């Protein structure tokens, strides 16, 4: 190993057990990201194919990783045949979490288990998952999930923060963390998000005063992170439609640091709508204390592209079990393990780029 490679290793490497991290271990991981100025990709999964691809990708990159489910992803994980959607959203998330708990340690990296946007209507979804974490915590001393997100950014700020405080009070005794949203991430994700068009809309930029208000209330209760809006949007749009202003993140960090006399970068910041962002803006955001960048659109496309290429190259195998002209059997082509695996591999490959962009490659804390 060269000296240059050695010096990029964080001093805490090998400090955590591989597998799902919660509580103090999660705090250690978040602090290491901020101290080392790198971030972890938070990848949305909808089934075991995408989920296993994330684990495989993280193991290949020797990076820790965040696995998350949206409410729609959780419902899909449970199977769309389940008629009670509210129940399916809970059971699917729990099923995915149990899958990760069983497998993650065998991939040799640290894995954060998280759920994505929950607006006011979905607060009961989060509360039901907390019920499962409480059972798990009683049994094993660890919650089922590392953290959840509440996105009440469409509500008045005081109502947003009061609900966040109420849930964090329930989560904190289990060592769980809460991600909150201040300001509105543009675009739309699972029907949540915004009809705010135009990147110059003031609502698309988080106000540092709101962040300070959140810090004052929530830092007394437990560990939390902030999805701040700095012009980011969900989805991928034509260049020029999005004006990222990462300096807004620095403004919030500086204000909280001054007002509450904290060390530098007191806030744990989250970057939503990372797909399709310019690499320099990503690096700049990470340097201001972003430890988590969500990625969904780009990995969805990678998976579909991997499958799609194979289908286009072998169209007959998706219409005939045996070739109607020459009698060639297509079993080896239509076997789902063949084409789903190509989707997984394409997703693994796309994620390698994300680990490099975010600077987390080779920095797993797992020992
Ligand atoms: Zn988001």
Q: Are 208 and 255 in contact (CB under 8 A)?
A: yes
Distance 234 CA to ligand 1 centre (A): 6
User: What is the distance between the alpha carbons of residues 227 and 150, in angstroms, rounded to a whole number?
Assistant: 10
Distance 179 CA to ligand 1 centre (A): 11
3-state helix, strand, coil in the chain (%, to 5): 50, 15, 35
Q: How would you write the pLDDT of the chain (367 residues) with one tens digit per residue?
A: 333 333 334 446 679 999 999 999 999 999 999 999 999 999 999 999 999 999 999 999 999 999 999 999 999 999 999 999 999 999 999 999 999 999 999 999 999 999 999 999 999 999 999 999 999 999 999 999 999 999 999 999 999 999 999 999 999 999 999 999 997 766 656 655 544 444 445 667 888 999 999 999 999 999 999 998 888 877 766 666 667 889 999 999 999 999 999 999 999 999 988 777 888 999 999 999 999 999 999 999 999 999 999 999 999 999 999 999 999 999 999 999 999 999 999 999 999 999 999 999 999 999 8
- Predicted local confidence at residue 32, as pLDDT: 97
* CATH assignment at residue 273: 3.20.20.70
Which helix (H) or strand (E) segment is 148 a member of? strand 147-150
Q: Which of 255, 252, 258 is nearest to 230 (CA)?
A: 252
Distance 77 CA to ligand 1 centre (A): 19
Q: Does any domain span residue 325?
A: yes
Q: Does any domain span residue 116?
A: yes
Distance 311 CA to ligand 1 centre (A): 31
Distance 33 CA to ligand 1 centre (A): 20
Domain span at residue 301? 16-358
- Predicted local confidence at residue 3, as pLDDT: 35
Q: Write phi, then psi, for 313 (nearest 5 degrees).
A: -75, -25
Q: Which of 100, 27, 18, 26 is nearest to 62 (CA)?
A: 18
Q: Does any domain span residue 163?
A: yes
Q: Does any domain span residue 2?
A: no
Catalytic residues: 116
Distance 150 CA to ligand 1 centre (A): 11
Distance 134 CA to ligand 1 centre (A): 26
Q: Does any domain span residue 198?
A: yes
Q: Does any domain span residue 29?
A: yes
Q: Does any domain span residue 10?
A: no
User: What is the distance between the alpha carbons of residues 5 and 9, in angstroms, rounded to a whole number?
Assistant: 7
Q: Write phi, then psi, for 7 (nearest 5 degrees).
A: -70, -20
Q: Helices 157-171 and 123-140 meet at what angle, rounded to 10?
A: 20
* Count: domains in the chain: 1
Return residues with CB closer than 5 A to ligand 1 (ion). Answer: 272
Q: Does any domain span residue 41?
A: yes
Alpha helices in the chain (DSSP H): 3-8, 23-35, 48-61, 71-78, 85-103, 123-140, 157-171, 208-218, 247-260, 279-287, 297-313, 331-334, 336-358
- Predicted local confidence at residue 1, as pLDDT: 33
């Amino acid at each position: 190993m060269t000296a240059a490679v050695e010096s990029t290793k964080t001093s805490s490497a090998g400090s955590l057990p591989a597998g799902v991290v919660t509580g103090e271990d999660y705090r250690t991981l978040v602090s290491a990201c901020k101290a080392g100025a790198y971030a972890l990709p938070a990848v949305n999964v909808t089934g075991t194919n995408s989920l296993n691809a994330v684990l495989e990708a993280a193991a290949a990159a020797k990076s820790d990783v965040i696995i998350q489910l949206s409410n729609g992803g959780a419902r899909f994980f449970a199977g769309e045949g389940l008629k009670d959607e509210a129940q399916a959203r809970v059971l699917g998330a729990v099923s995915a979490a149990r899958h990760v708990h069983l497998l993650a340690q065998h991939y040799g990296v640290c894995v954060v288990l998280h759920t994505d946007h929950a607006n006011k209507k979905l607060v009961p979804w989060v509360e039901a998952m907390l019920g499962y974490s409480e059972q798990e915590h009683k049994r094993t001393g660890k919650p089922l999930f590392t953290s959840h997100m509440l996105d009440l950014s469409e509500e008045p700020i005081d109502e947003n923060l009061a609900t966040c405080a109420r849930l964090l009070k329930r989560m904190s005794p289990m060592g769980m963390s809460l991600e909150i949203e201040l300001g509105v991430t543009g675009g739309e994700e699972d029907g949540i998000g915004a009809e705010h068009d135009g990147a110059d809309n003031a609502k698309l930029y988080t106000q540092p005063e709101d962040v300070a208000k959140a810090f004052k209330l929530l830092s007394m209760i437990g560990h939390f992170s902030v999805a701040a809006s700095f012009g980011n949007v969900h989805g991928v749009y034509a260049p020029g439609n999005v004006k990222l202003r990462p300096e807004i993140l620095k403004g919030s960090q500086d204000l909280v640091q001054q007002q509450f006399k904290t060390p530098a970068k007191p806030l744990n910041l989250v970057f939503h709508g990372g797909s399709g962002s310019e690499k320099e803006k990503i690096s700049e955001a990470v340097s201001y204390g972003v430890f988590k960048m969500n990625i969904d659109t780009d990995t969805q496309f990678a998976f579909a592209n991997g499958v799609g290429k194979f289908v286009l190259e072998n169209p007959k195998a998706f219409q005939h079990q045996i070739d109607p002209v020459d009698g060639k059997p297509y079993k080896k082509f239509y076997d789902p393990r063949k084409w789903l695996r190509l989707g997984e591999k394409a997703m693994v490959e796309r994620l390698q780029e994300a680990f490099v962009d975010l600077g987390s490659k080779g920095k797993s804390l797992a020992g």
